[in-house]
Amino acid sequence: MLLAQKVYKVTEALPDQERYGLTAQMRRAAVSVPSNIAEGAAKASRKEFAHFLHHALGSLAEIDTQVSLAENLGWMRDSGITANVERVRMVIYGLIRHLKKEPKDER
């Protein structure tokens, strides 16, 4: 959720003409990350959870691309979002690896 909050704050500085373009896309992708994690966690199987985690990874890739575009256009500078994206990505990859392991017998 911290990543989504940061994206919301940073996108406030984007040009007004991007309100329904890049700003909206970045915010939607940022909200999608924790939303997919939450939805996946509520699923009955590890496989379904991992599926939603992969969707969250896709949203992180979108944010990366959108930040690069905003930086290349001179609308954003060293926002720290890329570092946050990388941290979240590593956590999600770790969770996916954990979910792929066979659950131990709990008897």
The dotted CATH code for 2-100 is 1.20.1440.60
Residue boundaries of the structural domains of the chain:
2-100
Map residue 7 onto helix, strand or coil: helix
Long-range contacts of 88-91 (CB under 8 A, 24+ apart): 88/3, 88/33, 88/60, 89/57, 89/60
pTM score > 0.85 for this model? yes
89: Cβ–Cβ under 8 A, 6 or more apart, which residues? 57, 60
59: Cβ–Cβ under 8 A, 6 or more apart, which residues? 29, 30, 32, 33, 36
Q: What is the pLDDT along the chain (107 residues), one digit of tens a residue?
A: 899 999 999 999 999 999 999 999 999 999 999 999 999 999 999 999 999 999 999 999 999 999 999 999 999 988 899 999 999 999 999 999 999 987 775 44
